Amino acid sequence: MKKKKSPRPPIAETAPPVRPLSVPNWVDGLILAIIVAFAAYLRSRFLGIPFERDEGTYAYFGQLVLDGEIPYTSFYEIKPPGLFYAYAFLIRVFGATVDGLQLGFLLVNLVSLAALYGLVRLIVGRVAAPASALAFSVLSLSPHASGFTCQAEHLVVMPALAGLCLLAAAARSDRRALMAGAAALLGSSFLIKQNGAFFVLCGALFWLAHLLRKNLSWPAILKQAMIFGIGAAAPYAIACAVLWYQGAFSDFLYWTFDYARHYTTESSFMVGRQRFLRTFRDLTQGYEALWILSAAGLLSVPPPLSAGRAPLFVWLFFICSFLTVCPGFWFYGHYYLMWIPAVSAAAGVAVESLANLLRRRLDAALSVTIAALVFAVSFGDAWIKHQRYYLNPDHTAVLRAVYGSEPFPEAKVVGDAVRKKAREGDRLAVLGSDLEIYFYTGLRSPSRHVYLTYLVDGTPRHAQFQREFIQDMETAPPRFVVLFKHPASWMVYPTADKTILSWINPFVNQHYTLTGAVDMIAPDRTNYVWGVEAAGYKPIGNYRIYLFERREMN
C-alpha cells in the first residue's frame, strides 16, 4: 500500500515547526515603523501635485458638505454619501488646500499600510508581513494606478484592511465584539464606494468558514452571522436614515442605484477585456518582478478549501479584491488601488513560503535571509526602474505620462488666477467636468448640476438636467465662467441632446468678456494669455481653456 504524500507547507500556518526563528516581538514594531517612515517620505514627494478630475470633484463636494449642503439634492453624484463626508472630514482637519488634503491622504495610506502589515502578520506570518508592506508602499503609489492622487479608492481600502485585520484578530480570540467592529469597518468601505461590497463579501465568507471549522451548531452559526450582517449593514443604514431625515432619500436612490446601474451596464465584456489588457500592461510596466513574485505566492498556496484558515483567506482576499476592479468593465487605473493590497500580500506569501521551504534543510536565520534577498531582488528591480519617479518627481511630467493631454496642470494655473481676482460672494461656473477649479478658487457654482458629463451622457433625464442647468445660469449668472475645450472634460455621448453645447457661445458672448486663454500646444508647451490680450489671441493647439468675466463686473 502506497504512503500518501504529506502536503507541502506553503505558508507559515501549515509549515512544520522546524528550526524556528526566535525574534522579540518589539522587532515587528520597529520594522513597521521603518516601512511607514519610508512610505511617508515617498508620498511626501508628491505633495502639491495638481488634482486630477475625480479627486477635484470629491474635494469640492467635501467643501459643499462643510457648507451644510445635502448630497443628492444640492449636488449630484453616483457614489455613496460616505465618500463626501470622508473628504469633508479630511478638509476640516487638514485644510482646504491641495497640500492639506494630500497630507490627509498620505496618513490614510499609512494607516492602510499598517493594517495590511497586521493582517498579513496574523494570517500568514512574520516574514510575509514586512515584504507585503514594502510591496504595498511602492505599488500603491505607482503612477498608472494614480497612487499619488487623493482618489476615493484609498478611502475604500483603509477601512477594508482595518476591518479584515480586526476580523483576523477576532478569529484568533473568538471575541464577538471584535468581529462586530470588523464588520462595521468593512461596511464602511461600501459606504465610500459600492465596490467595497466585495470586501464585505470577503470578510463574511472568511468568518463563515471560521465558524464552520469550529463545528458549531447551526443556531450558533446563524447568530454570529446575524451579528456580522448587522455590523456590516449599520453604517449604510445610518446613512440612509440621515438622508431620509434630510429629505434626500429618493434622490439618493436614483443616483446611487438607478443612474449607477446605467454606468455599470454601459460597457460590454469584450470592450472591458481590451481595457483590462491595456491598463494592466501599463500598471505592471516596470513592476514585473513584484507581480511575478505575487503570482508565485498565490500559486504556492493550496486550494482555498484545503485545511487551515490561511490558504482560504489568501485566495478569498485576492479574488474579492480583483472583483472590486471589475464593475462596469471600465478598469480605470485608480480602480487597481483596491486590488494592490491583495497583490502585495501575495508577494509576502511567496517570501514566507520560500523561507518555510528552506527551513527544512537550513538554519532558520539563513532561510529567512535567502527569502528576503529574493524579495530584495524583485523590489530592487522596481525601485531602480522608478527611482526618479519616487525620489524626484516632476509633477507636470507625471500628470502628462499618466493622463496624456488632460488639462490638469493648466487647471491649477487657471484656478489660482481666478482665486486672486475673486471677492467674497462671487460665483463660478465650470463648463466641463473639471471641478477641481472650484476647490482651487474656493468659489461655488450657481447650479446643483456641476459635473456636466451627466448632462451629455444620453441617460433618460440628461436633457432635463440641461434645461435645469441653463435656467440656473440665466437666473443668476456667475461672475466667472471657465470653459474647457477638451473632449475628456465633457465626454459627450453620440446620442445625447446637444442643446447645452449650442447654448454656451450665445450666452457667454452676451454676458461675458474673455479675460484668459490657455492654449495647450504640446505636452511640454502651454501658452497662458491674460487680460485684454486674450481677446485677440489666436490659439494653436487643439485643447484650450477659456476664462470669462461678467461684463458689468469687469
Quickly state the pLDDT bin for 538 (edges 50, 70, 90): very high
Sheet holding 543-550, edge to edge: 428-431, 480-485, 543-550, 512-522, 525-530
State how far the Cα of 418 lies from the Cα of 423, in Å rounded to an integer.
Answer: 10
C-alpha cell at 518: 490657455
Q: Are 91 and 59 in contact (CB under 8 A)?
A: yes
What are 399-422's pLDDT values in tens digits?
999 999 999 999 999 999 999 999
Residues 21-36 have a mean pLDDT of 88
What radius of gyration, in Å, describes the C-alpha atoms of the chain? 26
Q: What was the pLDDT predicted at 425?
A: 94
Please list, in sequence order, all residues whose beta carbon lies within 8 angstroms of the beta carbon of residue 165, skipping any fewer than 6 positions away: 115, 116, 118, 119, 122, 182
Q: pTM for the whole thing? A: 0.93
Q: What was the pLDDT predicted at 4?
A: 47
Longest dimension (CA), the chain: 98
% of residues, the chain, pLDDT over 70:
95
Q: Collapsing DSSP states into helix, strand and coil, what is residue 11?
A: coil
What are 309-365's pLDDT values in tens digits?
788 899 999 999 999 999 999 999 999 999 999 999 999 999 999 999 999 999 989
Quickly state the pLDDT bin for 87 (edges 50, 70, 90): very high
State how far the Cα of 343 lies from the Cα of 401, in Å rounded to an integer.
Answer: 24
Helical axes 218-246 vs 176-192, angle rounded to 10°: 40
Q: What was the pLDDT predicted at 94?
A: 98
% of residues, the chain, pLDDT over 90:
88
Please list, in sequence order, all residues whose beta carbon lies within 8 angstroms of the beta carbon of residue 290, skipping any fewer than 6 positions away: 135, 138, 139, 343, 347, 378, 379, 381, 382
Locate the domains of the chain by residue range: 28-395, 405-553
Alpha helix stretches (DSSP H) within 254-363: 260-265, 269-284, 288-299, 309-323, 340-358
